[in-house]
Structure 1
Amino acid sequence: MKGALTIIAFFVLGVMLGWSGALPLWLSESDFTLYALFFLLFCVGVSVGADDTLRRTIARMQPKILLIPLATIVGTLLGSFAISFALDNVSATESMAIGSGFGYYSLSSIFITQYKGAELGTIALVSNVFREIFALLMAPLLFKAFGKLAPIAAGGATTMDTTLPVISRVCGRDWIFVAMLHGFAVDLSVPFLVTFLCRF
């Protein structure tokens, strides 16, 4: 929750500085966000490669466990497609691109801003932040209503980091392995799905 609020605070600060004209022009008119995205992807790669626990988890992985992140991906895309019919200025592929952030707001919003503009990037940021907050706050209710896989599916890409403590507490420590693997697999899909859907 604290991390999500910090991200929103920095975003609001950026908007205010952009409106005020206090920032140098090169910052808004250059490919600065693209280079920031490259650096972010590099950092994600380093954190994944350096995570011994994650490497051991993948080594013990059973193929059928991959059905869980696959179900999360397919379900999110279908839900995003369905909700697009209720939105006036957002196409089905744009809605699916936003949904395919899976809670990974920092990466997906930058991609969508690069491809589709700041307005849709902002919607992606807020939407994916809300997904993380929803998973953090509603995990106990989701567990009671739908079972142990529901909080994991709701967490999307965040289940290997920010929502993992909540999932561990609600679902039990036995599900940490599943949550980490789920988060890792969904996390990997984000750049591919977002960029693919943004091309339409």
Structure 2
Amino acid sequence: MRGSLIIVAFFIVGVLMGRFIEMPAFVTEQDPTLYALYVLMFLVGISIGSDKKALQALKQQNLRIVLVPLGTILGTLAGSAVISLVLKDRSLTDCLAVGSGFGYYSLSSIFITQYKGAELGTIALASNIIRELLTLLAAPFLVRYFGKLAPISVGGATTMDTTLPVITQSSGKDYVVVSIFHGITVDFSVPFLVTFFCTI
């Protein structure tokens, strides 16, 4: 929860600085978010590649574990498509691109800003932060009414890091490996799906 609030605080500070303070030309005329994206992708690769315990634990799991991230991806995209019917000012591909962030606000919002502009990038950022906060705050409720896999699916890409502790507490230690595998798989899909929906 604290990490999410810090991210929101940095975002708000950035908006206020951009609005009320004249920023140096290299920040506004060039595109620093592209370089931030390169660094972020590099760090994501290191994070996934260095998690040897998670990869070893996955070998002991049944192949049905693959259905959890697949269900999250398909369910999120289906929900995004339905929402596009209500939001008349947003296209189907816009909604699918935002949904494809799966809670990975830093990466997806940068991609969407690059391809679709700052407005949709900001919507993606807010949407993905809300997804993470919902998991952090509602995990016990989700387990009680929808089952132990529910907070994992709602958490999206965050289930291997920021929401893992609350998922472990609510769903139990038996679901730690499922949560980590889910997070890695969904996380890996974000750049491909977001780019795909932004460019079609």
TM superposition score normalised by structure 1:
0.97
Contact 2:58 2:177 in 1 (8 A): no
In angstroms, what is the RMSD of aligned CA positions? 1.0
1:72 aligns with 2:76: no
1:16-36 Cα offsets, whole Å, 9 max, x none, are: 111123320211111211011
Match of 1:88?
88
Report percent identity of matched pairs.
57
Match of 2:162?
162
**What CA distance in whole angstroms lies between the structure 1 residues aligned with 2:153 and 2:146?**
11
Contact 1:48 1:54 in 2 (8 A): no
Match of 2:2?
2
- AA matched with 1:186: V
Shift of 1:61: 4.1
Match of 1:146?
146
After the TM superposition, which residues 108-147 of structure 1 pair with which residues of structure 2 at under 5 Å, given as runs? 108-147=108-147
- AA matched with 1:177: V
**What CA distance in whole angstroms lies between the structure 2 residues aligned with 1:122 and 1:106?**
11
1:28-62 Cα offsets, whole Å, 9 max, x none, are: 11121101101000011111111122221333343
Say which SS state the counterpart of residue 90 (structure 1) adopts. Answer: coil
Match of 1:197?
197
Say which SS state the counterpart of residue 103 (structure 2) adopts. Answer: coil
1:156-192 Cα offsets, whole Å, 9 max, x none, are: 1111001110110111101101010011100000000
After the TM superposition, which residues 165-180 of structure 1 pair with which residues of structure 2 at under 5 Å, given as runs? 165-180=165-180
**What CA distance in whole angstroms lies between the structure 2 residues aligned with 1:179 and 1:193?**
20
- AA matched with 1:118: A
**What CA distance in whole angstroms lies between the structure 1 residues aligned with 2:169 and 2:119?**
37
Identify unmatched segments of 5+ residues in structure 1: none
Say which SS state the counterpart of residue 162 (structure 2) adopts. Answer: coil
Stretches (4+) displaced over 2 A:
57-63
Say which SS state the counterpart of residue 90 (structure 2) adopts. Answer: coil
**What CA distance in whole angstroms lies between the structure 2 residues aligned with 1:61 and 1:45?**
23
Contact 1:57 1:181 in 2 (8 A): no
TM superposition score normalised by structure 2:
0.97
- AA matched with 1:58: L
Identify unmatched segments of 5+ residues in structure 2: none
Once the two structures are overlaid, the 10-residue window that deviates more, 110-119 or 4-13, is 4-13
Match of 1:182?
182
Contact 2:109 2:124 in 1 (8 A): yes
Contact 1:136 1:166 in 2 (8 A): yes
1:76-125 Cα offsets, whole Å, 9 max, x none, are: 00000101111132111110110110000000000000000000000000
- AA matched with 1:30: Q
1:104 aligns with 2:104: yes
Say which SS state the counterpart of residue 168 (structure 2) adopts. Answer: helix
Once the two structures are overlaid, the 10-residue window that deviates more, 54-63 or 114-123, is 54-63
